[in-house]
Amino acid sequence: MLLSIDHVQKSYPGGRPVLNDVSLTLEQGQTLALTGESGSGKSTLLHLVAALDGFDGGEITLDGRPMSSLNDIERAALRRNTLSLVFQQFNLIPSLTIAQNLSIHARLAKREDPEWIEHLTKRLGLADLRNRYPEQLSGGQQQRVAIGRAMAIRPRLLLADEPTGNLDETASAVVLDLMLSLVADTGAALLLVTHSNEIANRLDRRAHLTGGRIE
Protein backbone atom coordinates (compact mmCIF):
# COMPACT_ATOMS: atom_id res chain seq x y z
CA MET A 1 0.00 0.00 0.00
CA LEU A 2 1.52 3.31 -1.05
CA LEU A 3 -0.99 5.66 0.55
CA SER A 4 -3.45 5.06 3.32
CA ILE A 5 -5.80 7.78 4.56
CA ASP A 6 -7.44 6.53 7.72
CA HIS A 7 -10.39 8.31 9.41
CA VAL A 8 -8.86 11.73 8.80
CA GLN A 9 -10.42 14.86 10.29
CA LYS A 10 -9.53 18.43 9.44
CA SER A 11 -10.92 21.81 10.43
CA TYR A 12 -9.52 25.24 9.72
CA PRO A 13 -9.35 27.59 12.74
CA GLY A 14 -12.84 28.90 13.54
CA GLY A 15 -14.48 26.88 10.76
CA ARG A 16 -16.69 23.82 10.51
CA PRO A 17 -14.90 20.51 9.91
CA VAL A 18 -13.92 20.27 6.23
CA LEU A 19 -12.98 16.59 6.43
CA ASN A 20 -15.05 14.60 8.92
CA ASP A 21 -13.97 11.00 8.55
CA VAL A 22 -12.11 10.45 5.31
CA SER A 23 -10.65 7.04 4.53
CA LEU A 24 -9.04 6.09 1.23
CA THR A 25 -6.20 3.90 0.02
CA LEU A 26 -4.03 3.93 -3.07
CA GLU A 27 -1.75 1.16 -4.31
CA GLN A 28 1.54 1.79 -6.05
CA GLY A 29 0.86 2.40 -9.75
CA GLN A 30 -2.87 3.00 -9.31
CA THR A 31 -4.68 6.07 -10.63
CA LEU A 32 -7.57 7.54 -8.67
CA ALA A 33 -9.89 10.41 -9.58
CA LEU A 34 -11.18 12.50 -6.68
CA THR A 35 -14.39 14.35 -7.46
CA GLY A 36 -16.67 16.52 -5.35
CA GLU A 37 -18.43 19.86 -5.43
CA SER A 38 -16.53 23.10 -5.10
CA GLY A 39 -15.70 23.62 -1.42
CA SER A 40 -16.04 19.93 -0.53
CA GLY A 41 -12.43 19.72 0.64
CA LYS A 42 -10.63 18.15 -2.34
CA SER A 43 -7.71 20.59 -2.30
CA THR A 44 -7.54 20.34 1.49
CA LEU A 45 -7.19 16.56 1.25
CA LEU A 46 -4.46 16.86 -1.39
CA HIS A 47 -2.56 19.33 0.82
CA LEU A 48 -2.69 16.89 3.72
CA VAL A 49 -1.42 14.02 1.57
CA ALA A 50 1.38 16.31 0.36
CA ALA A 51 2.38 16.96 3.99
CA LEU A 52 1.80 20.67 3.40
CA ASP A 53 -0.66 21.00 6.28
CA GLY A 54 -1.49 19.11 9.45
CA PHE A 55 -4.72 17.30 10.36
CA ASP A 56 -6.70 17.00 13.59
CA GLY A 57 -7.49 13.30 13.77
CA GLY A 58 -6.87 9.99 12.05
CA GLU A 59 -3.69 9.11 10.18
CA ILE A 60 -2.17 9.43 6.73
CA THR A 61 0.53 6.88 5.93
CA LEU A 62 2.63 7.44 2.83
CA ASP A 63 5.26 4.95 1.77
CA GLY A 64 5.10 3.29 5.19
CA ARG A 65 5.54 6.52 7.14
CA PRO A 66 2.71 7.76 9.38
CA MET A 67 2.67 11.51 8.81
CA SER A 68 1.53 12.44 12.31
CA SER A 69 4.83 11.09 13.65
CA LEU A 70 7.09 13.08 11.31
CA ASN A 71 8.94 16.23 12.30
CA ASP A 72 9.30 19.19 9.91
CA ILE A 73 12.56 17.92 8.44
CA GLU A 74 11.12 14.46 7.80
CA ARG A 75 8.00 15.97 6.21
CA ALA A 76 10.14 18.12 3.92
CA ALA A 77 12.16 15.05 2.91
CA LEU A 78 8.96 13.13 2.18
CA ARG A 79 7.73 15.98 -0.03
CA ARG A 80 11.04 16.25 -1.87
CA ASN A 81 11.65 12.57 -2.48
CA THR A 82 8.33 10.76 -2.67
CA LEU A 83 5.69 12.99 -4.21
CA SER A 84 5.14 15.78 -6.69
CA LEU A 85 2.32 18.22 -7.26
CA VAL A 86 0.68 19.69 -10.33
CA PHE A 87 -1.85 22.50 -9.89
CA GLN A 88 -4.45 24.25 -11.99
CA GLN A 89 -2.12 27.26 -12.01
CA PHE A 90 1.09 26.19 -13.64
CA ASN A 91 3.30 27.91 -11.02
CA LEU A 92 6.35 28.11 -13.24
CA ILE A 93 9.13 30.50 -12.22
CA PRO A 94 8.89 33.43 -14.68
CA SER A 95 12.57 34.37 -14.52
CA LEU A 96 13.78 30.85 -15.36
CA THR A 97 13.91 29.26 -18.81
CA ILE A 98 11.82 26.20 -19.62
CA ALA A 99 14.89 23.97 -19.23
CA GLN A 100 15.63 25.50 -15.82
CA ASN A 101 11.99 25.21 -14.72
CA LEU A 102 11.98 21.55 -15.72
CA SER A 103 14.96 20.65 -13.57
CA ILE A 104 14.52 23.00 -10.60
CA HIS A 105 12.77 20.62 -8.20
CA ALA A 106 15.02 17.67 -9.04
CA ARG A 107 18.03 19.92 -8.58
CA LEU A 108 16.83 21.20 -5.19
CA ALA A 109 16.13 17.62 -4.13
CA LYS A 110 19.61 16.61 -5.34
CA ARG A 111 17.94 14.06 -7.59
CA GLU A 112 18.78 15.58 -10.94
CA ASP A 113 19.17 12.96 -13.69
CA PRO A 114 20.04 14.81 -16.92
CA GLU A 115 19.20 11.83 -19.16
CA TRP A 116 15.79 11.42 -17.62
CA ILE A 117 15.09 15.16 -17.88
CA GLU A 118 16.19 15.07 -21.52
CA HIS A 119 13.80 12.17 -22.12
CA LEU A 120 10.97 14.05 -20.40
CA THR A 121 11.68 17.21 -22.40
CA LYS A 122 11.31 15.34 -25.69
CA ARG A 123 8.41 13.22 -24.55
CA LEU A 124 6.50 16.34 -23.50
CA GLY A 125 7.19 18.04 -26.83
CA LEU A 126 9.26 20.79 -25.21
CA ALA A 127 12.62 20.29 -26.94
CA ASP A 128 12.28 23.38 -29.15
CA LEU A 129 11.04 25.52 -26.25
CA ARG A 130 13.94 24.87 -23.85
CA ASN A 131 15.38 28.39 -24.00
CA ARG A 132 12.09 30.24 -23.83
CA TYR A 133 10.48 31.73 -20.74
CA PRO A 134 7.09 30.69 -19.33
CA GLU A 135 5.28 33.82 -20.56
CA GLN A 136 6.23 32.84 -24.12
CA LEU A 137 4.32 29.54 -23.86
CA SER A 138 0.65 28.64 -24.22
CA GLY A 139 -1.23 27.33 -21.20
CA GLY A 140 -1.03 23.76 -22.45
CA GLN A 141 2.72 24.07 -23.01
CA GLN A 142 3.21 25.55 -19.53
CA GLN A 143 1.29 22.70 -17.95
CA ARG A 144 3.49 20.22 -19.85
CA VAL A 145 6.51 21.92 -18.25
CA ALA A 146 4.86 21.63 -14.83
CA ILE A 147 4.29 17.91 -15.45
CA GLY A 148 7.91 17.46 -16.50
CA ARG A 149 9.11 19.31 -13.41
CA ALA A 150 6.92 17.08 -11.26
CA MET A 151 8.04 13.84 -12.92
CA ALA A 152 11.73 14.80 -12.93
CA ILE A 153 12.22 13.38 -9.42
CA ARG A 154 10.45 10.13 -10.46
CA PRO A 155 7.87 10.53 -7.69
CA ARG A 156 6.11 7.47 -6.31
CA LEU A 157 2.96 9.59 -6.05
CA LEU A 158 1.80 12.38 -8.34
CA LEU A 159 -0.86 14.69 -6.89
CA ALA A 160 -2.77 16.78 -9.42
CA ASP A 161 -5.35 19.41 -8.44
CA GLU A 162 -7.60 20.13 -11.44
CA PRO A 163 -4.57 20.10 -13.75
CA THR A 164 -6.63 20.81 -16.87
CA GLY A 165 -8.93 23.38 -15.22
CA ASN A 166 -7.33 26.29 -17.09
CA LEU A 167 -6.98 24.57 -20.47
CA ASP A 168 -9.19 24.22 -23.53
CA GLU A 169 -10.43 20.81 -24.60
CA THR A 170 -7.60 20.03 -27.01
CA ALA A 171 -4.84 21.05 -24.61
CA SER A 172 -6.60 19.18 -21.77
CA ALA A 173 -6.62 15.96 -23.76
CA VAL A 174 -2.90 16.25 -24.54
CA VAL A 175 -2.01 17.03 -20.93
CA LEU A 176 -4.08 14.14 -19.55
CA ASP A 177 -2.65 11.66 -22.06
CA LEU A 178 0.91 12.69 -21.22
CA MET A 179 0.30 12.55 -17.48
CA LEU A 180 -1.29 9.10 -17.65
CA SER A 181 1.42 7.66 -19.88
CA LEU A 182 4.29 9.05 -17.78
CA VAL A 183 2.68 7.77 -14.60
CA ALA A 184 2.18 4.34 -16.18
CA ASP A 185 5.77 4.20 -17.46
CA THR A 186 7.34 5.12 -14.13
CA GLY A 187 4.99 3.05 -11.96
CA ALA A 188 3.90 6.13 -10.04
CA ALA A 189 0.47 6.38 -8.45
CA LEU A 190 -1.78 9.30 -9.37
CA LEU A 191 -4.34 11.09 -7.22
CA LEU A 192 -6.11 13.57 -9.47
CA VAL A 193 -8.82 16.05 -8.56
CA THR A 194 -11.22 16.78 -11.39
CA HIS A 195 -14.69 18.07 -12.18
CA SER A 196 -14.83 16.14 -15.41
CA ASN A 197 -16.58 12.78 -15.63
CA GLU A 198 -14.79 12.13 -18.87
CA ILE A 199 -11.39 12.52 -17.19
CA ALA A 200 -12.45 10.60 -14.08
CA ASN A 201 -13.56 7.68 -16.22
CA ARG A 202 -10.08 7.28 -17.68
CA LEU A 203 -8.54 6.56 -14.29
CA ASP A 204 -8.52 3.19 -12.49
CA ARG A 205 -10.77 4.27 -9.64
CA ARG A 206 -13.03 7.10 -8.53
CA ALA A 207 -13.77 8.54 -5.11
CA HIS A 208 -16.36 11.22 -4.41
CA LEU A 209 -15.98 13.65 -1.51
CA THR A 210 -19.19 14.96 -0.01
CA GLY A 211 -20.17 16.15 3.47
CA GLY A 212 -16.60 15.69 4.65
CA ARG A 213 -16.53 11.99 3.72
CA ILE A 214 -15.72 9.74 0.80
CA GLU A 215 -18.84 8.32 -0.74
In angstroms, what is the minimal distance from the CB of 38 to Mg ion? 7
Q: Is there binding between residue 43 and ligand ADP (CB under 6 A)?
A: yes
Cα–Cα distance between 97 and 99 in angstroms, integer?
5
DSSP conformational letter for 136 = G
Considering only residues 61 through 80, tell me which ones interact with ligand ADP, judged by CB under 6 A: none
Amino acid at 155: P
State how far Cα 21 lies from the chain centre: 22
Give the x-and-dash track for 28-47 against Mg ion (CB under 5 A).
---------------x----
In angstroms, what is the minimal distance from the CB of 161 to Mg ion? 6
Compute the half-sphere exposure of residue 111: CA atoms within 13 Å on the CB side of its CA: 18
Burial (CB count within 10 angstroms: exposed 0-12, middle 13-18, buried 19+), residue 95: exposed
Of the residues 5, 8, 32, 36, which one makes contact with ligand ADP according to CB under 6 A: 36
Q: Is there binding between residue 9 and ligand ADP (CB under 6 A)?
A: no
Give the interface size with ligand ADP as a residue count (CB under 6 A).
11
Q: Is there binding between residue 42 and ligand ADP (CB under 6 A)?
A: yes
Helices (H), the chain: 42-49, 72-82, 98-108, 114-123, 139-151, 169-186, 197-200
Of the residues 1, 12, 68, 118, which one makes contact with ligand ADP according to CB under 6 A: 12
Binding site for Mg ion (CB under 5 A): 43
Binding site for ligand ADP (CB under 6 A): 12, 15, 18, 36, 38-44
